[in-house]
Amino acid sequence: MNEKKLELVTDLYEFTMSNGYFVMQRNEIAYFDIFFRKIPDNGGYVVVAGLNEIIDYIKNLSFDIDDINYLRSLNIFSEDYLNYLLKFKFTGDIWAIPEGTVVFPKEPLVTVRANIIEAQILETAMLLFINHESLIATKTSRIVRSAKGKPIMEFGARRAHGVSAAVYGSRAAIIGGAVRNKLCLYS
């Protein structure tokens, strides 16, 4: 699902840090891993989901003049950094565990290798996609296991927080083992 204006769906911290790196002319290669330390409900495992959205986000990540003007209005970024963002293109590498894979605490789910400025900008959005969709895929997997072979369908759109959450949630539930719901609008 193609989102609008995801560039600014992040923590301000990501921009202030990357601006600091830019101003200090720090352009070394950095690595960061997405992983979790423990499973909150002691459920034993997590099912990875959300990579499709990460790939789409990174492929389409760019900043338009409205984004730059908003960031400029905050009066905390250098003009050279804002010009850098206007021409931004991710040039790093990403490795990931395939969606649907069962993982355990402290295993890297995604590894980013990029210029430190680029890597910093990606962090919040990547965590958003992995955390949300892996949560749904994992919960669905546990329900499917409990059903002992009976088909489990996903009806999350009824309570979702918007269209995107419904679509992403449904996709994650299918990754977790829910059967596909064949939608028929007209008979």
- Asked if residue 153 is part of any domain, the answer here is no
Taking the CB of residue 121, how many other CB atoms lie within 10 A of it?
A: 23
pLDDT the model gives residue 102: 96
Count structural domains, the chain: 1
- Asked if residue 150 is part of any domain, the answer here is no
- Asked if residue 119 is part of any domain, the answer here is yes
- Asked if residue 39 is part of any domain, the answer here is yes
- Asked if residue 143 is part of any domain, the answer here is no
pTM of the model: 0.84
Task: Please report which confidence band the pLDDT of residue 187 belongs to, taking 50, 70 and 90 as the band edges.
Answer: very low
Lowest-pLDDT range of 38-42, 57-61, 175-179: 38-42
Taking the CB of residue 104, how many other CB atoms lie within 10 A of it?
A: 12
pLDDT over 50 at 60, yes or no: yes
